Amino acid sequence: MGKNFNLRRRNLVYAVLIFMLMSIIIVTPAGAARKVTIQAPPVAAALPLLWMKDSGQLDNLVDLEINISSDHQRGLALMARGDIGLLVTGVNVGAKAYNRGIGMKLLNVNTWSVDYLLTSGFQTESWNDLKGKSLVLPLKGGPLDFLARYLLRENGVNPEDVNIIYRPLPGSARYFMAGKVDSIVLPEPLVTISLVKNKEANLSLDIQKEWGKLHDGDWRIPYVGLFVSEKLGGEDPGLVKMINGMYLQGIEWVNNHPVEAVRLAAGYQGFSVPPKLFLESFKRVDLNYYGQSKSKTLIKTYFNEILEMYPDMLGGRLPDEEFYF
Averaged over successive runs of 10 residues, the pLDDT of the chain (325 residues) comes to: 50 49 46 89 98 93 96 97 97 98 98 98 96 96 97 98 96 94 97 95 98 98 98 96 97 98 96 96 98 98 98 98 97
Burial class (CB in 10 A: 0-12, 13-18, 19+), 101: exposed
Give backbone dihedrals phi and psi of 112, rounded to 5 degrees, phi first.
-125, -15
Q: Determine contact, residues 148/233, Cβ cutoff 8 Å.
A: no
Q: Specify the pLDDT at position 33.
A: 86
Q: Specify the pLDDT at position 285.
A: 98
Please give the CATH architecture assigned to the domain spanning 7-113+223-323. Answer: 3-Layer(aba) Sandwich (3.40)
Q: Specify the pLDDT at position 10.
A: 55
For the domain covering 115-213, report its CATH number.
3.40.190.10
Q: Specify the pLDDT at position 17.
A: 52
pTM confidence score? 0.90
Domain ranges of the chain: 7-113+223-323, 115-213
Say whether 115-213 and 7-113+223-323 share the same fold.
yes
Tell me the C-alpha distance between 66 and 46, whole Å: 9
Residues across the chain:
325
Q: Specify the pLDDT at position 1.
A: 65
| Peptide bond connecting 237 to the previous residue in cis, omega within 30 degrees of 0 | no
Q: Specify the pLDDT at position 16.
A: 46
